[in-house]
């Protein structure tokens, strides 16, 4: 077993136009001051990284790593959630989805999709130049408007959507494979890959691709009433990344999983700062360690209530306190007896081995 690395922090929720959050160096200083040892970079945010430059220039990639290293930080992974969303976006989201893309491709879904695909290919190259072996993204959504089977799904609708998802993503998975990088899908509501079964449907259609993996975030499973601990038992071989995010689900007589179109404060399911929600992180860290998870524990801070400064500082401590420094020997080795096969046969009353 190996010890989980961390604490890391996803910088997406903290980057802003005010210092120290407006520059990469400022964000790194802030992260180090909060007690983090790793940073996950949003590849869509120019304040953090120039993705195209990182894909083409080893010098630039080395500079990114160096700027982090002098502050005692490691770049843990790149993230392309916004770009991945646009690889497969239903037309119902065109107006909103345009905000994820550059002005030049807005209003043109085909060009926007092509741009998103190129962004993923750049991310594969940039990850390799940065010395990273895993990457996180969203699958995008063709089916989410049809989540509930009423009006009744036309025959073949679900298969058609997943076949199309596989057609779009298989070449991207191959590109990541070429660069030696795992592509980890964040299992997330509003994405076609939002639970275990949808991941399995996609995985089958991409031929059980070795680079098709999972970014595990228990908060999104809590809000769907999925057994997030059993989920690890089912999918541990594919779990390659870990967002440490807390949540609570408190259905009542007026609302439940769908939220009643309410703001976050009034929803039954809400994201919380670490330790303030319902997630059993002691069991999660134990399970992941038992299954030999060798990645980073990365804080993704999203809380409807607590301020981000307190959430980050508490999150770094919380992760550090939950990481298990795994043992290099069995606890009962002190009574272990040395033996050979002859001794074992004698213990079992089998006598000498037949010649």
pLDDT for 279-315, tens place per residue? 999 999 999 999 999 999 999 999 999 999 999 999 9
pLDDT for 184-220, tens place per residue? 999 999 999 999 999 999 999 999 999 999 999 999 9
* Percent composition of the chain: helix, strand, coil (DSSP 3-state, to 5): 45, 15, 40
Q: What is residue 341's predicted lDDT score, i.e. its pLDDT?
A: 86
Average pLDDT value for residue range 170-195: 98
pTM beyond 0.75: yes
Q: What is residue 343's predicted lDDT score, i.e. its pLDDT?
A: 84
Residue 54 pLDDT > 80, yes or no?
Answer: yes
Average pLDDT value for residue range 4-12: 98
3-class DSSP state for residue 240? strand
Q: What percent of the chain has pLDDT over 90?
A: 92
- 243's enclosing H/E stretch is strand 239-244
Q: What is residue 70's predicted lDDT score, i.e. its pLDDT?
A: 98
Residue 347 pLDDT > 90, yes or no?
Answer: no
Q: 135 pairs with which residues across the strands?
A: 78, 183
List of domains in the chain? 5-347 (3.20.20.150)
- For residues 345 and 146, the model is more confident at 146
> Using alpha carbons only, what angle is made at residue 143 by residues 142 and 149, rounded to the nearest 5 degrees?
165
Q: How far apart are CA 53 and CA 248, in angstroms?
A: 40
Mean pLDDT of the chain: 96
Residue 332 pLDDT > 70, yes or no?
Answer: no
Q: What is residue 1's predicted lDDT score, i.e. its pLDDT?
A: 82
Average pLDDT value for residue range 85-112: 97
Q: How far apart are CA 207 and CA 151, in angstroms?
A: 31
Average pLDDT value for residue range 252-273: 97
Q: What confidence tier does 342 reach under pLDDT thresholds 50, 70, 90?
A: confident
| 188, 157 contact by CB (below 8 A) | no
Q: What confidence tier does 103 reach under pLDDT thresholds 50, 70, 90?
A: very high
pLDDT for 133-155, tens place per residue? 999 999 999 999 999 999 999 99
Q: What is residue 64's predicted lDDT score, i.e. its pLDDT?
A: 98
Q: What is residue 328's predicted lDDT score, i.e. its pLDDT?
A: 77
| Phi, psi torsion values for 12, nearest 5 degrees | -60, -45
Q: What is residue 243's predicted lDDT score, i.e. its pLDDT?
A: 98
Q: What is residue 334's predicted lDDT score, i.e. its pLDDT?
A: 63
């Amino acid at each position: 077993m190996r010890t989980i690395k961390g604490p890391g922090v996803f910088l997406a929720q903290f980057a802003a136009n005010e210092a120290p959050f407006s520059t990469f160096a400022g964000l790194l200083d802030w992260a180090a001051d909060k007690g983090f040892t790793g940073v996950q970079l949003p590849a869509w945010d120019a304040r953090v990284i120039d993705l195209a430059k990182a894909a083409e220039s080893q010098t630039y990639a080395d500079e990114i790593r160096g700027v982090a290293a002098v502050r005692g930080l490691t770049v843990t992974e790149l993230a392309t959630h916004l770009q991945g969303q646009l690889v497969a976006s239903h037309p119902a989201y065109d107006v909103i989805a345009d905000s994820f893309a550059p002005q030049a491709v807005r209003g043109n879904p085909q060009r926007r999709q092509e741009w998103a695909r190129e962004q993923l290919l750049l991310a594969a190259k940039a990850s390799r130049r940065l010395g990273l072996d895993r990457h996180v993204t969203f699958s995008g959504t063709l089916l989410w408007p049809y989540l509930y089977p009423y009006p009744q799904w036309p025959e073949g609708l679900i298969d058609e959507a997943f076949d199309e998802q596989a057609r779009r993503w298989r070449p991207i998975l191959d590109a990541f494979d070429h660069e030696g990088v795992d592509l980890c899908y964040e299992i997330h509501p509003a994405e076609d890959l939002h639970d275990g079964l949808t991941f399995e449907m996609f995985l089958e259609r991409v031929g059980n691709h070795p680079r098709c993996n999972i970014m595990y975030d228990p908060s999104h499973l809590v809000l769907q009433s999925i057994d997030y601990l059993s989920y690890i038992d089912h999918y541990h071989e594919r779990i390659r990344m870990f967002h440490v995010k807390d949540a609570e689900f408190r259905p009542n007589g007026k609302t439940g999983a769908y939220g009643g179109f309410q703001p976050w404060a009034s929803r039954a399911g809400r994201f919380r700062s670490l330790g303030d929600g319902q997630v059993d992180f002691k069991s999660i860290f134990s399970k992941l360690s038992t299954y030999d998870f060798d990645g980073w524990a990365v804080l993704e801070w999203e809380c409807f209530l607590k301020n981000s400064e307190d959430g980050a500082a508490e999150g770094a401590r919380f992760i550090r306190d939950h990481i298990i420094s795994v043992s290099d020997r069995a606890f009962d080795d002190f009574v272990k007896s040395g033996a050979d096969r002859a001794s074992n046969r004698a213990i079992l009353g089998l006598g000498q081995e037949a010649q």
